Amino acid sequence: MAKTIIVSNRLPIRIEKEDGQKVYKTSEGGLATGLGSIYKEGNNIWIGWPGISLSHEEEEEVEKELINRNMRPVFLTEHDVDEFYLGFSNQTLWPAFHYFIHHMRFKDEEWEAYYNANRKFADAISKWLEPDDIIWVHDYQLMLVPNMLRKQFPNVTIGFFQHIPFPSYEVFRMIPWRKKLLNGVLGADYIGFHTYDDMRHFLSSCHRLAGYSYERNQILVKNRLVEADSLPMGIDYDKYLESATSQLAKAKEISYRDSLGKQELILSMDRLDYSKGIPGRLQAFDKFLEKYPEYQGRVSLFLIVVPSRDQVESYKALKEQVEFLVGHVNGKYGTINYVPVHFYYRSFPLDDLSAFYRMCKIAMITPKRDGMNLVCKEFIASRENEDGVLILSEMAGASKELSDAILVNPNDENEMVEAIKRALEMPLAEQKRRMKIMQGTVKKYTIFQWVDLFMNNLKDLKERQQSMATKRLDDELKNSITKDFKKAKNPIIFLDYDGTLMPFNENPDDCAPDAELSQILHQLAVKAKVVVISGRKAATLEEWLDEFNIDLIAEHGIKTKRAGAKWEVNGNLQEDSWKNEARDILEFYIQRTPGSFLEEKEHTLVWHYRKVEKGLGDLRSSELSSHLKHFMTNKGLDVIEGDHVVEVKPSVINKGKAAIERLKGEKTDFIMAFGDDRTDEDTFEALPNDALSVKVGSGFSYAKYAVENNEEVRTLLEKFVMEE
């Protein structure tokens, strides 16, 4: 029976040694909670590192115990942990992905350890992988695993989710192994990020660094459709609400309140990390008390810092800085009866956290950069009376969902100071209005909804991949289709031109029909309605094809000409005011790319680079496409990357819409379409289910069948017109 294999750097439990005995401790993290609904069911499993280095004899014992818990271990040596985890993962990728460039380091030996550790994970997965299994790989420590598996198991279903931000192209390109990392992730079928910005940065890097074109959020990787998406992760809302409303949490709140006094408390809770902005928060609180002295003695910062990686030098230095700032603020404003900052450097169990969420009316979560941040969502879920205020960094992924928080720029100290004052003075009615909206959002988009959405989207994509896997048009099928065509009373055939009827030529003007094609079209037009549907100019199609008494659709559907009639312009066209700016962009790239040239049609612009030096043309087309996609935002334009062309056209126009318009009013009993590039996919997708569609060339397609080249298309059309 097929199973789901979850893969992450750490298992949802960790093993520690206490008095010489191994103790299995369960993780309370959001990921472990959410994925518990998967790996504990049936024969599903979770693969990861158990958090400790062991002897060979101990590994065998631990593996047996973990198998009983639906887990499979990947054992890492202390060297692996130092070089792969503490080294490359957390001193190359982590700072790069959080925009802390000055903390980045590039060591070949750490990259090698990262590669080898990813290989260990891939080998562990391979050991337990069976046909039809689904693999879900998590986070930046395992970016190479998807492609390692893809090479070994080409048809396996793989999902990947990145839990931290993905940086802009300008930062990511600084990493020497950037292309290998991208190709590693692209081994997955479905790739998830917390925010649209992260997804957009990933697609941009794939395009500009690895040379992959993308349309919306889809990339074609070696004829395999890959999709990137933004899926913000949630929490177990009911768990935090129930804990916060429990008698134990209420009793602890009263006990802590008696100890702390009557000051208003501002909760600040983070793992020790320079991305969390803890020093900046302390400095803002210092400035707040200085600027508004009336709040001295009335407001305290309840600061919890959870230990993390404090054996790494940069983290040691951060801990010392935080301790210094806490001492500075307490020494500056503290009295016998007033402690401005209550500082705790440790983790707390859920019962204690729930009490903290209850007694702190304000939560101040201001990371410099954060993929999501679930603490703010836990705070919201724990506010039983729908009161309280959340001050949230706009650099946290959660800010995209929680717009009713007081959003701040964590680099703007003055803004944070004023946010504290605003939170303290916010009327109760306004608190409740905002909190109710945020609770509705957090309650709706839970960790369980996130898991279901990811898995359903992954399965849906796999089905679409399979539906796009075109069947080779063999002789038996060709004979069957030919019989159906000859029996039809009113057949219609849609034909793309370049690459389908005629081979490509370095000079696009040298593609007029040759004698063989002319004869085929003359004969075919007698037996069927023939529609040539092309991206070429109307004048060119008319000059070359008008003699054959066939229908012509030019510029992807902008102009249509029935046989023997005049050209008609699509009525949905917008004004061409966009062309001047787009033309300037294209001319700029022509100046930088010897051999490229601009073809200007009445309503579209096309940049050709077939004559450009190989490599340079691919590079410039990637740059141009990114530039144009940015330009076309909100302008109703599409950027189409074809065979050695980049075309800009109005988005209301495509071949599929034109084909459907041509079929209106026709009582056809045979519909067939041929095409070779992405623009023809619109035709294949739009045609009725009983239509026959043929992709010319290799690759995934919405077409039902595939042939190798234009010569094979001609041979089939010749069979259609051949007399019995």
Q: Looking at the annotation, which residues are catalytic?
A: 496
| DSSP annotation string for 273-306 | -GGG-HHHHHHHHHHHHHH-GGGTTTEEEEEEEE
CA distance 640 to 637: 10
Q: State the Cα angle at 694 between 692 and 696, rounded to 5°.
A: 170
Inter-residue contact 99 to 369 (CB < 8 Å): yes
Whole-number Å distance between alpha carbons of 513 and 380: 68
Sign of CA dihedral 454, 460, 461, 463: positive
- Nearest-CA neighbor of 43 among 64, 71, 23? 71
> How many whole angstroms separate alpha carbon 1 and alpha carbon 517?
53
* Category of 492 on φ-ψ map: left (φ > 0), alpha (ψ -120 to 50) or beta: beta
Q: CA angle, corner 659, sides to 656 and 661, nearest 5?
A: 110
**Residue written as token pair 């609770």:** 439
> Quick check: 18 and 54 in contact, CB under 8 A?
no
Instruction: With H, G, I as helix, E, B as strand and everything else as coil, classify residue 30.
Output: helix
Closest C-alpha to 370, from 623, 112, 98, 135: 98
Considering only CA atoms, which of 143, 154, 213, 150 is closest in space to residue 182? 143
User: End-to-end alpha-carbon separation of the chain, Å?
Assistant: 52
Distance CA(116)–CA(125), nearest Å, equals: 14
Of 501, 535, 554, the residue nearest 678 (C-alpha) = 535
717 contacts 524 by C-beta, under 8 angstroms: yes
Q: Which residues contact 51 (CB under 8 A, 6 or more apart)?
A: 10, 11, 14, 15, 16
Exposed e or buried b per residue across 71-81, where buried means at least 16 C-beta atoms within 10 angstroms of its C-beta: bbbbbbeeebb
Amino acid at residue number 14: R
